[in-house]
Amino acid sequence: MPLMGLGNNDVIRKLTLNDRPDSIEELKTQLRDKLSLQYDFKLQYEDPDFSNALCNLTDITDLPARATLKVIPLVTLEFAYLSSPTEESDCSTVDAEILSPAESSPSLRKQWPQVFALPNFSVDVEYRLRQADLSFMKDRIPITPSRDMKHDILEKLAETMYSFKAYPNDDDFSSVAKSLISKHPSLTEPGPQPGWYGWKNSIKFKMANYRTKLRKAGCDDVMINGGKQSKLNPDGESSRKNVKRPKRGEANYLPNLPDGHDERSLENARKIVIEEMKKKKNNATLVSQMMDQTFPLRRREIVTQEPVVKSLVERWPALFTERQVFAEFNCVASKNLEGDFYEALDQHTPRFIELFKSKKGTTGQKLTDLMQHINCLSQAFLFCLVMTPDTAKEEALASVTVGVLTVVNEDAQQQGLNAVHLQPISTAIILEGSTVMDNVRDFPQAVCLLFGLMYALHLDYPKCMANTLRFIQAVMLGLGSKTLPPKLLSLKNKLLG
């Protein structure tokens, strides 16, 4: 049953449900799981009986087989942000400042689209381009745009590109230039170079100028790279040194603080989360709301200050829960980590097992022994990618920068490495020598969460796991640069060949 759901900010997702839901609540449950929705909502659908006008969905039988749904969040509560307490006051005596979650939610970017859709230019520019395109179809003579016309085109393109990326790469510039010429062939440039090549260079220069304007306006993701060496700042740091920008496909590398809020108000929201996490049974909805609102503050702290993990565990304890790891990854990378990870795991596991079985020698024998002891093929796939320590001793953990820890009883240890992973007592995640998440459901879930934490905490890939994490990033999740190291490129070709 194909469905298309529209969420906040007109986010469009295409979904396919295997079976038609028997009730609206069942449909909402499936949408929550597939879209990682953490709030209550109501549904509207395009009714074909009323020229596809949106109508409230009150009966599941009204839903067409191929339906377009609109997801409308229901925010019925306003939460109190505690004002900064003085030394003499505490959380029970300070005044409360009421802030609406809907008003303070930041506008976050989405991933760069597979096909770049050109924006609509001004009415005047659109009219002249339409006339020029008609003439080009007749006599094949391209238009020479005036200075003002070219400026308007480039300015609108830069604005649209910035809505996806502050620092587009060369492939992104090429895709925009190609889209421009494809839609408006009259802008094709004569000469031996492709007809879009000159536009690509112009867009690059315009994008750099656009970032300069935004830097002066105070946009965080470009301000962070201000003060570099230039004619006006000859003593500044080299323009190519220590540039802070997305390197692994982060859609929201350093978002601005939400309108109407500053660091103080968001710091008060952080304190609410800490107090809530101390409770045996916390308010998960409140925690999610506060974590969503404080994402820009948290991201600013993590990217600019690069604190140690232990400090982050103390300041943001909610971040080290499964629900918030996935929510944070969705904010940073604009992807459903859990859904996409397991989908890719199911897709690649059969072919991976074939490759493992084809291995010869000592390595092949070890892989064969491992797969004989593990019934779940997806676990075998991941075990071959990630080596895990098999002891809980503190001295062993201290030397582990990044890893997944499986704790087993003594009988299992005596059976050898392969038996260690069969029925562990517990599975945990280690970062910088400390256990940050414990009692994880199973090994695949631990690997998934570990990868999410690498993005959430803005951590570099450790050398011992760089290829594993890069494989998950680029091949399984399709994030970041398409250029891969030779080993990973060879493995990708074997998987997809």
**Plot region of 227 (φ>0 → left; ψ -120 to 50 → alpha; else → beta):** left
Residues 154, 267 share a domain: no
The answer to whether residues 365 and 481 belong to one domain is yes
Separation between Cα atoms, residue 27 and residue 21, nearest integer Å: 5
Question: What DSSP state is assigned to residue 317?
Answer: G
What confidence tier does 370 reach under pLDDT thresholds 50, 70, 90? Answer: low
Q: Name which of 116-130, 404-418, 435-449 the model is least confident about.
A: 404-418
Q: What is the pLDDT of residue 350?
A: 83
Which of 333, 359, 378 delimits the end of a domain? 333
Cβ atoms within 10 A of the Cβ of 487, count? 11
Task: Give alpha helix (H) positions in 184-336.
Answer: 197-217, 220-223, 263-277, 284-293, 295-300, 309-315, 322-333
Report CA-CA distances (Å) from 255 to 141, 235, 246.
44, 28, 12
Same domain flag for 212 and 285: no
Model pLDDT, residue 71: 84
Same domain, 326 and 353: no
Cβ atoms of residues 387 and 468 within 8 Å: no
In a domain, 243, yes or no: no
Contacts of 372 (CB under 8 A, 6+ apart): 418
359 and 461 fall within a common domain: yes
Q: Between these two residues, 30 and 88, which has the higher pLDDT value?
A: 30
Torsion of CA 384, 387, 390, 391, to 10 degrees: -170
**Residue 230 resides in a domain:** no
Residue 105 has pLDDT above 80, yes or no: no
Give the tens place of pLDDT for each residue, 378-429.
565 666 555 444 344 444 455 567 888 777 665 555 555 444 445 667 889 9
User: In terms of domains, do 354 and 490 share one?
Assistant: yes
Are 364 and 442 in the same domain? Answer: yes
User: DSSP per residue over 400-443, as a string?
Assistant: -SEEEEEE--HHHHHT-HHHHTTS-SEEEEEETTEEEE-S-S-H
Whether 194 maps to a domain, the answer reads: yes
Give the count of domains, the chain: 4
Please indicate, yes or no, whether residues 143 and 41 belong to a single structural domain of this protein. no
pLDDT of residue 7 exceeding 70 = no
Lowest mean pLDDT among 123-132, 328-337, 347-356: 347-356
Say yes or no: 309 and 431 in one domain: no
pLDDT in tens, 206-230: 999 999 999 988 899 999 988 766 6
In which element (H, E) is residue 382 found?
helix 377-385
* Residue 367 pLDDT grade (very low, low, confident, very high; cuts 50, 70, 90): low
- Please identify, among 167, 196, 223, the residue that sits at the C-terminal boundary of a domain: 223
More confident residue, 399 or 473: 473
DSSP conformation class of 472: I
What is the span of the domain harbouring residue 14?
2-73
| Residue 127 forms part of a structural domain | yes
Residue 69, domain CATH: 3.10.20.90
**488 located within any domain:** yes
Instruction: State which of 10-19, 191-200, 236-245, 318-327 shows the largest mean pLDDT.
Output: 318-327
pLDDT > 90? residue 259: no
* Whether 214 and 276 share a structural domain: no
> Does this model's pTM top 0.85?
no
Q: Is residue 110 part of a domain?
A: no
Question: pLDDT digit string (tens) for 229-240?
Answer: 666 667 667 766
- Spatial CA neighbour of 82 closest among 69, 100, 95, 72: 95
Are residues 486 and 381 located together in one domain of the fold?
Answer: yes
Domain end position, chosen among 312, 333, 354? 333
What is the pairing mode between strands 434-437 and 426-431?
antiparallel
Distance of CA 23 to the CA centre of its chain: 32
Residue 114 domain-assigned (yes or no): no
Q: What integer is the mean pLDDT of 316-335?
A: 96
Q: Is residue 382 part of a domain?
A: yes
- Domain identity same for 293 and 358: no
Q: How many Å apart are CA 155 and CA 161, to the nearest integer?
A: 10
